[in-house]
C-alpha cells in the first residue's frame, strides 16, 4: 500500500485491544508472549529487531542507543534457553531512551524491579539465570526474526507494528495493519456499545429490563 502514515496508523491502533484483532485474524499473534506488568491501555509502536546468536548480548545495548523514541525492541533470545537477557538496568535504559515497550522471545529477570518501574515488558517467561560478559559472536540488529510456536512460524521485521496489552501481542506488517484497521475499528465500536449497555444495566440493577426490552 502507498502513502501510509505510520504515526496515524500507530495512534489508531492505540484505541483497539488485541482481543479485537484476534476476532479477525491470527496472523502476527505471538501465542506465548505475555506482559510482566498489567497493561491499562493498548501499547503500540514500530518494531526494531534484535537477534542474539550467542551469550553475547552487547547488541541489545547498541539497539537501545539506535532506537527512536516510541520504538518497540523485539529481541530474539531463543538461543539462550533459560537464560534471561533483559532485567532491571536495561529497563531503566529503555525508559531513558523513551521506548514504548520491549518484547523478548525468551526470558526476562528482575521481575519485581520491572514491575516497580511500571515499564511494559513482554516475555515468554521469567528466569533467575542470566547472561554474562562474553566474547562470543555478537548478535545482529534489524535482521528478520523467525518466531516459532508449535507448527506456526511468524516472521518479524524491523518496521513492523507491535500491538500489545494484557491479553497478548500482535506484530503486523504495515500493509496488514492498514488492511485490518477499518474492520478492527468497526468491531471495537460494536463491542464497546454492547459492553457499555450491559455495564450500565448491571451497575443500576436493570439487567432484566435490558434483556426483556
The C-alpha atoms of residue 173 and residue 110 are separated, in whole angstroms, by 31
pLDDT at 1: 42
What is the mean predicted confidence (pLDDT) over 53-78? Answer: 96
**Please, what is the angle between helix 88-96 and helix 58-66, to 10°?**
20
Share of the chain above pLDDT 70, in %: 99
Average pLDDT, the chain: 94
Helix (H, G, I), strand (E, B) or coil at 108: strand
pLDDT in tens, 126-171: 999 999 887 788 899 999 999 998 888 999 999 999 999 999 999 9
> Is the separation of the CB atoms in 108 and 126 below 8 Å?
yes
Residue 209 has pLDDT above 80, yes or no: no
Amino acid at each position: 500500500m502507498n502513502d501510509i502514515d505510520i504515526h496515524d496508523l500507530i495512534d489508531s491502533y492505540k484505541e483497539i485491544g488485541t482481543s479485537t484483532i484476534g476476532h479477525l485474524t491470527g496472523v502476527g499473534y505471538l501465542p506465548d508472549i505475555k506482559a510482566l506488568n498489567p497493561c491499562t491501555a493498548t501499547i503500540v509502536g514500530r518494531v526494531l529487531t534484535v537477534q542474539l546468536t550467542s551469550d553475547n548480548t552487547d547488541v541489545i545495548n547498541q539497539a537501545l542507543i539506535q532506537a527512536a523514541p516510541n520504538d518497540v525492541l523485539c529481541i530474539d533470545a531463543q538461543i539462550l534457553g533459560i537464560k534471561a537477557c533483559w532485567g532491571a538496568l536495561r529497563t531503566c535504559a529503555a525508559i531513558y531512551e523513551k521506548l514504548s515497550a520491549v518484547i523478548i522471545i525468551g526470558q526476562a529477570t528482575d521481575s519485581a524491579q520491572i514491575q516497580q518501574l511500571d515499564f511494559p515488558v513482554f516475555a515468554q517467561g521469567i528466569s533467575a539465570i542470566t547472561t554474562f560478559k562474553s566474547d562470543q559472536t555478537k548478535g545482529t540488529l534489524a535482521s528478520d526474526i523467525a518466531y516459532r510456536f508449535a507448527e506456526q512460524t511468524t516472521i518479524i521485521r524491523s518496521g513492523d507494528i507491535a500491538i500489545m496489552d494484557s491479553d497478548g501481542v500482535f506484530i503486523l506488517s504495515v500493509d496488514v495493519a492498514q488492511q485490518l484497521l477499518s474492520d478492527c475499528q468497526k468491531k471495537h465500536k460494536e463491542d464497546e456499545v454492547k459492553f457499555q449497555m450491559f455495564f450500565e444495566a448491571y451497575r443500576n440493577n436493570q439487567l432484566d429490563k435490558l434483556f426483556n426490552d
